[in-house]
Amino acid sequence: MAAGCVAGILAACLVGPAHPSAAAVGAPAPTPCPAELTAGARCYSGQDAHGAHYTVAVPREWNGTLVLHAHGGPDLGAESDPRRSSDDLARWSVMVDQGYAWAGSAYRRGGYGTRMAASDTESLRRLFTKEFGRPATTLVHGQSWGGNVAAKTIEMYGTGAHSPYDGALLTNGVLAGGSRGYDYRVDLRVVYQYYCRNHPRPSEPSYPLWKGLREDSAMTHAGLRARLEECTGYASPAADRTPVQQRNLDDILAVTKIPERTLESHLGFATFTFRDIVKRVGLRSPFSNEHVRYSGSHDDAALNAGVERFAADPSARRDLSYDSDLTGAVGIPVLTLHAIDDPTAFVEHEAAYLDSLTGTHRQRHLVQTFTQESEHSGLSTSEYAGAVSALSAWVRTGRKPSPESVASRCPAFDAVYGTGCFFRPDHVPAPYASRVNPRPGATHWPAMTRAQERAWSGIEGIGIAP
């Protein structure tokens, strides 16, 4: 299979599941709204022509603005999960509660594919317009990896003179792109194995660690958790850990700068998600740690001499970069909201995103806001309501807000939701390289024209057939 994928990104290696039958595709069907919706709304669900399940909610007193939601993850199931979009509607029901129509795609399949997910988001926008009428304003919202998807959506579909998108809200987004946004998990994967030697064990078939996990492995998240506990005792009280476990844990955390409370989830990404990414770039390595110098352990010299090293395959790296890196080609208002102590998508992702827009002289389209919060998957409901209100006002009036003015909107919404306002208008994130080991000599590919994209690969991105 790998040999057949090397020349370009061949569709046989990257397509999603077969399209649904004609009977499965049709007009959105009425469906019960989540209990979280306090305002009167009508909810619908369906499946698009690519097989992506979706959910739509339209308030009975609609303000004319549509919020398209790009979900995070990525989930790793083979098929589109119909529950995903309905669950997301429940999580962000505040949008509908505030009068916005909401539509979210579950994407045509699980697994990595930023352009695939962006294409499915755009497909849902067109479907909504056909079935419910053209919104006066269309915003796209993405959280976590969905922030990468939403940012890619506006680069792919929202840069022309007649853009169907008017603004974007990116919350706790993975905004450094795939070619460097996973580097800290690359480092975790090799540093963990250096200390723990159990992933894989010496008695198990070996494989290069950039694969995350060998293709035929039946390992589960529970199995990986057991190995992490065996090596570090991370889930046990500190008093119950052996001295070796404690030293392993201390060294892994110090070298990778990953918070202890999310160590397991990051290792899961560096295992199962890496296996999926590598599969989608033809079983070649898009990752590198060839010249990284690790520091912070009790013996850096031994660590750097003993850690597994590998270089990225240039074409695999370009495939991943093409699919997910952000070029900064933005022509509409973009508002970001990020928890300063986000333990999953570190706040330094925002510095990487600002660099992308600055490189194309588009930073005038960007306002970045930060909150003194420490969770990744959800921020204060009052803050979401205030942020989408500020973005809507920017789109409507053309007056760019400041971090201070965005923060000033929150108390009025907090009087309704009571979840708190934690904005830090003065915060400036450190450079991305201060948190994530840079890859000396790594290439970040420039933006391509549409004609160049088609000539290069013949497809729209990882996971999309010609």
**Topology of domain 27-179+327-457, CATH:** Rossmann fold (3.40.50)
Instruction: Output the pLDDT for position 25.
Output: 61
Give the tokens for residue 270: 């560096």
Burial class (CB in 10 A: 0-12, 13-18, 19+), 15: middle
Least Cα distance to 112 among 276, 344, 282 occurs for: 276
Mean pLDDT over 323-347 rounds to 96
pLDDT band at 454 (very low <50, low <70, confident <90, very high): very low
Instruction: Output the pLDDT for position 243.
Output: 98
Amino acid sitting at position 442:
A
Q: Is the pLDDT of residue 449 over 60?
A: no
Give the tokens for residue 320: 């991943």
Q: What confidence tens digit (pLDDT) does each residue in 360-385 have?
A: 999 999 999 999 999 999 999 999 99
Cα 122–Cα 128–Cα 132 angle in degrees, nearest 5: 160
Instruction: Output the pLDDT for position 160.
Output: 73
Give the tokens for residue 215: 């293709």
What's the whole-number average pLDDT of the chain?
A: 90
Pairwise CA distance, residues 304 & 111, whole Å: 32
Least Cα distance to 350 among 365, 332, 334, 336 occurs for: 336
Give the tokens for residue 311: 């270089």
Assess contact for 116 and 461: CB atoms under 8 A.
yes
Task: Mean pLDDT check: name the lowest of 39-48, 205-214, 249-258.
Answer: 39-48
Give the tokens for residue 106: 């579950």
Instruction: Output the pLDDT for position 8.
Output: 38
Q: Is-cis flag, bond preceding 20, omega within 30?
A: no
Helix (H, G, I), strand (E, B) or coil at 65: strand
Give the tokens for residue 159: 């840069």
Percent of the chain past pLDDT 90, that is, above it, reads 85
Instruction: Output the pLDDT for position 26.
Output: 67
3-state secondary structure 149-188: HHHHHHHHHCCCCCCCCCEEEEECCCCCCHHHHCHHHHHH
Amino acid sitting at position 213:
L
366 Cα distance to chain centroid: 19
Pairwise CA distance, residues 271 & 314, whole Å: 22
Q: Is the pLDDT of residue 437 over 80?
A: yes
Pairwise CA distance, residues 254 & 296, whole Å: 5
Give the tokens for residue 127: 């479907």
Q: Starting from the edge strand earliest in sequence, which strands make up the sheet with 53-59, in order?
A: 29-31, 41-47, 53-59, 101-105, 65-70, 137-143, 167-171, 334-339, 366-371
Instruction: Output the pLDDT for position 462.
Output: 61
Least Cα distance to 154 among 165, 142, 143, 145 occurs for: 165
Q: Is the pLDDT of residue 126 over 50?
A: yes
Pairwise CA distance, residues 407 & 421, whole Å: 8
Q: What confidence tens digit (pLDDT) does each residue in 61-90 have?
A: 999 999 999 999 999 988 999 999 999 999
Task: Mean pLDDT check: name the lowest of 13-22, 78-87, 410-419.
Answer: 13-22
| Domain range annotation of the chain | 27-179+327-457, 181-321
Instruction: Output the pLDDT for position 7.
Output: 34
Percent of the chain past pLDDT 70, that is, above it, reads 89
Amino acid sitting at position 296:
G
Instruction: Output the pLDDT for position 451.
Output: 44
pLDDT band at 158 (very low <50, low <70, confident <90, very high): confident
Beta strands in 325-398 (DSSP E): 334-339, 366-371
Give the tokens for residue 29: 């069907």
- Report if pTM > 0.85: yes
Task: Mean pLDDT check: name the lowest of 11-15, 62-66, 185-189, 334-338.
Answer: 11-15
Assess contact for 375 and 339: CB atoms under 8 A.
yes
Q: Is the pLDDT of residue 297 over 60?
A: yes
Pairwise CA distance, residues 125 & 101, whole Å: 11
Cα 330–Cα 278–Cα 5 angle in degrees, nearest 5: 95
348 Cα distance to chain centroid: 14
Assess contact for 262 and 345: CB atoms under 8 A.
no
Residues 6+ apart with CB under 8 A from 59: 39, 40, 41, 96, 99, 100, 101
Instruction: Output the pLDDT for position 440.
Output: 72
| Torsion, Cα of 394, 344, 328, 138 (10° steps) | -40
